[in-house]
Amino acid sequence: MTTPIIAILRGLTPPEALPIARALIEAGITRIEVPLNSPDPLDSIALMVDEFGDRATIGAGTVLTPDDVQRVADIGGRLIVSPNTDPEVIRETRRLEMESWPGVFTATECFSAIAAGATGLKLFPADQAGTVALKALGAVLPRGVAVYAVGGVGPANFAEWLRAGARGFGIGSALYKPGDSTDSVSARAAEMVAALAAAS
């Protein structure tokens, strides 16, 4: 089963794309997004899709417009992650048969995202919302809706978030920061996967 982690590779550059993606995939992390405010993000995504598209779900984060969604689809991306809930972005993502993970913080945003067709919900920033908020949301959200916690989550609190109802996590700088070596990313990815397995 796929590890329920979305790797957030903010600041990734095209020369790093393949070795970093390979390290993540070999560790068991097979959902990868490159935020669109990274250097040449579409180039990085295209490289990863060409090399690993049959082994991983690869796409973009910080996606704010339907035009951005189309650009990611044009290069074979299959994953769209946003910091906000924009029904137009969600609908365009689903129209193009891609996964849609919009950012939510309130019940209103959650239900707006679900109505627009979101694949799952990204509780962001999770450390500001807290596990109490996630438990409250879980009481009213449809049972099948997956909520991933993003922001301030990691091995130290995986178990707490899972108990509160999180189905997975988005992990950024705890996995990759610009300039990190492939070996360090590989080691952190393996540790993250093991920690999540232990907490589950």
Choice among 33, 92, 135, 160 that is catalytic: 33
Q: Is 33 a catalytic residue?
A: yes
Instruction: Provide, rounded to the nearest whole percent, the portion of the chain with pLDDT above 90.
Output: 99
pLDDT (tens digit, 9 = 90+) per residue, 158-179? 999 999 999 999 999 999 999 9
**Number of domains within the chain:** 1
pLDDT at 2: 79
Please identify which residue in the block is written with the tokens 């290069």.
Answer: 75
Q: Is 109 a catalytic residue?
A: no
Choice among 16, 92, 99, 122 that is catalytic: 122
Does residue 67 carry a pLDDT above 60? yes
User: What domain range is 21 assigned to?
Assistant: 5-199
Does residue 156 carry a pLDDT above 90? yes
Reference 68, options 83, 54, 53; nearest CA is 83
pLDDT (tens digit, 9 = 90+) per residue, 70-83? 999 999 999 999 99
pLDDT at 136: 97
45 phi, psi to nearest 5 deg: -60, -45
CATH of the domain at 134: 3.20.20.70
pLDDT (tens digit, 9 = 90+) per residue, 108-133? 999 999 999 999 999 999 999 999 99
Measured in whole angstroms, the distance separating CA 23 from the mean position of its chain's CA atoms is 17
User: Binning pLDDT at 50, 70 and 90, where does residue 1 land?
Assistant: low
